[in-house]
């Protein structure tokens, strides 16, 4: 299980995040980015956060430490924003905390280089978990102490929002054309050689063990151990079906994606705007 901490103070909402994560202090003297159980699509988002982050960690990819945070409704009283206060109150109880990385910089696609080995591993990992939320528009990566950190995996494992359709997700190609790292010359074959063999049933069982039972049984269906088995089975099937998605991923990495960011200056410029500005003056 993840470490359990108790929130002692609500600091501020992080308004960059659509789900309004909150910054909180806790009784272990840590500061956490708290993802609310009552936000948006509910606790499945928190399940995806844990499964993906702990899988990433097990594969040697950098992710902030995770905890569960017990939050008392009373902590909301000082929050002036009514929407945030209500979200906090509805989330009373157990929530997800990510270790806050003070001073972390948002990754900027095009400006920040990532070496081909790491870029390949992140791309491979995102294809495995079906992460639609690591685009150059919304990279969900931070630089902290000079090192890349992966965050925000709530939009991965989308199959768990509709299990009857999960089989179709096993072989679904991964669209990497707008991925934030696709222009970093990602070495996908090397990533596959290094990581595929490490994704085993015991490893996935250990990852799923980190998810609190109450979040797995939130929809009142099967017992927690059966739900854990479904996630493990789905991810192992996705891994075994690499013939269906790996060649496309290798090809996307080789061409560098749709080239939207590094197209020739003026390529998308409407004629009525006149000739493009001189090289070096254009926006990225």
Ligand X SMILES: Nc1ncnc2c1ncn2[C@@H]1O[C@H](COP(=O)(O)OP(=O)(O)OP(=O)(O)O)[C@@H](O)[C@H]1O
- In whole angstroms, the minimum distance from the beta carbon of 21 to Mg ion comes to 9
Out of 68, 91, 135, 140, which residue is the one contacting Mg ion (CB under 5 A)?
140
Asked if 33 touches ligand X (CB under 6 A), the answer is: yes
Asked if 19 touches ligand X (CB under 6 A), the answer is: yes
Instruction: Tell me, by CB under 6 A, how many residues bind ligand X.
Output: 20
Structure-token match 């595929």, residue found: 196
66 contacts which partner out of Mg ion, ligand X, none, CB within 5 to 8 A by kind? none
33 contacts which partner out of Mg ion, ligand X, none, CB within 5 to 8 A by kind? ligand X
Nearest-angstrom CA–CA distance, 274 and 262: 20
- In whole angstroms, the minimum distance from the beta carbon of 10 to ligand X comes to 15
Q: Is 197 exposed, middle or buried (0-12, 13-18, 19+ CB in 10 A)?
A: exposed
In the complex with ligand X, which residue's Cβ is closer, 33 or 127? 33
* Binders in 152-181 for ligand X, by CB under 6 A: 152, 154
In the complex with ligand X, which residue's Cβ is closer, 83 or 106? 106
Binding mask 57-96 for ligand X (x = CB under 6 A): -------x--------------------------------
Under 8 Å between Cβ of 159 and 169: yes
Residues near ligand X, by CB under 6 A: 14, 16-19, 21, 33, 64, 98-101, 104, 106, 138, 140, 142, 151-152, 154
């Amino acid at each position: 299980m993840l470490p359990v901490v108790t929130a002692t103070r609500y600091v501020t909402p992080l308004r960059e995040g659509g789900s309004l994560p909150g910054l909180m202090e806790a009784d272990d003297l840590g500061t956490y980015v708290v993802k609310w159980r009552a936000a948006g699509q509910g606790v499945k988002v928190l399940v995806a956060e844990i499964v993906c982050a702990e899988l990433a960690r097990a594969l040697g990819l950098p992710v902030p430490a995770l905890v569960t945070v017990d939050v008392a409704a009373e902590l909301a009283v000082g929050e002036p924003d009514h929407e945030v206060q209500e979200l906090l109150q509805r989330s009373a109880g157990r929530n997800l905390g990510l270790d806050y990385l003070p001073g972390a910089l948002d990754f900027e696609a095009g400006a920040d280089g990532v070496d081909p080995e790491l870029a390949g591993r992140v791309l491979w990992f995102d294809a495995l978990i079906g992460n639609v939320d690591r685009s150059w528009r919304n990279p969900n990566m931070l630089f902290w102490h000079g090192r890349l950190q992966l965050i925000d995996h709530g939009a991965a494992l989308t199959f768990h929002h509709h299990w009857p359709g999960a089989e179709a997700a096993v072989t679904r190609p991964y669209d990497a054309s707008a991925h934030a790292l696709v222009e970093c010359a990602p070495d996908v074959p090397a990533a596959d050689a290094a990581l595929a063999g490490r994704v085993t049933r015991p490893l996935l069982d250990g990852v799923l063990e980190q998810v609190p039972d109450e979040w797995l049984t939130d929809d009142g269906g099967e017992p927690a151990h059966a739900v854990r088995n479904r996630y493990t089975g789905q991810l192992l099937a996705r891994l075994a079906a690499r013939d269906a998605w790996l060649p496309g991923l290798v090809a996307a990495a080789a061409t560098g994606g749709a080239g939207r960011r590094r197209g020739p200056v003026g390529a998308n410029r409407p004629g009525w705007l006149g000739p493009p500005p001189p090289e070096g003056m254009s926006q990225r």
